[in-house]
Amino acid sequence: MAYIEIDVATQGLRLCEREGGRVLWETRVATAKNGVGERYGSYQTPRGLHIVRAKIGAGAPRGAVFVGRRPTGEIYSPALRRLHPQRDWVLTRILWLSGLTVGENRLGEVDTMRRYIYIHGAPDEDPMGIPSSHGCIKMRNDEVMELFERVPPGTKVRVIA
């Protein structure tokens, strides 16, 4: 099984082979504008080893809007963004992460899953390669759809800074 590596320093995501670590696919992402950290309420991207705990949005249209991991029935557009300027746009697909290291990114005040940290789609006009999220890992919609199809639940995700 492949694994995902997210490099905060380069704002890159790589899908790698388990054996040998050969890069199968890569893209630019956007991690947290507040940098890295694991604490609840920090709005930072958590480091370390995680797994894809759940995949949400299979079959949803490109640009489907999610709030609280549920589709709203809306399809993202710049006009919709103007109507709801305060929304944190979670679009198209969600890969919900769960930390694997107790005390670092699992349980207590550092629990990645309870912090609702995802790999998810973002508006097309949002820049990639620039830290700008509220803690999640944002991707282009077409690319998150491709990654969603390529990885099963349980896929390991390593976030390095």
Distance CA 102, CA 98 (A): 11
CB 89 within 8 A of CB 56: no
Which is it for strands 156-160 and 3-7: parallel, antiparallel or unpaired? Answer: parallel
Q: Under CATH, to which class is 31-155 assigned? A: mainly beta
pTM of the model: 0.96
CB 159 within 8 A of CB 48: yes
- pLDDT tens digit string along 73-124? 999 999 999 999 999 999 999 999 999 999 999 999 999 999 999 999 999 9
CB 106 within 8 A of CB 97: no
Query: Taken in order 52, 134, 161, 48, is the CA torsion positive or negative?
Result: negative
129, pLDDT greater than 90: yes
- pLDDT tens digit string along 6-58? 999 999 999 999 888 899 999 999 999 999 999 999 999 999 999 999 999 99
- Domain limits of the chain? 31-155
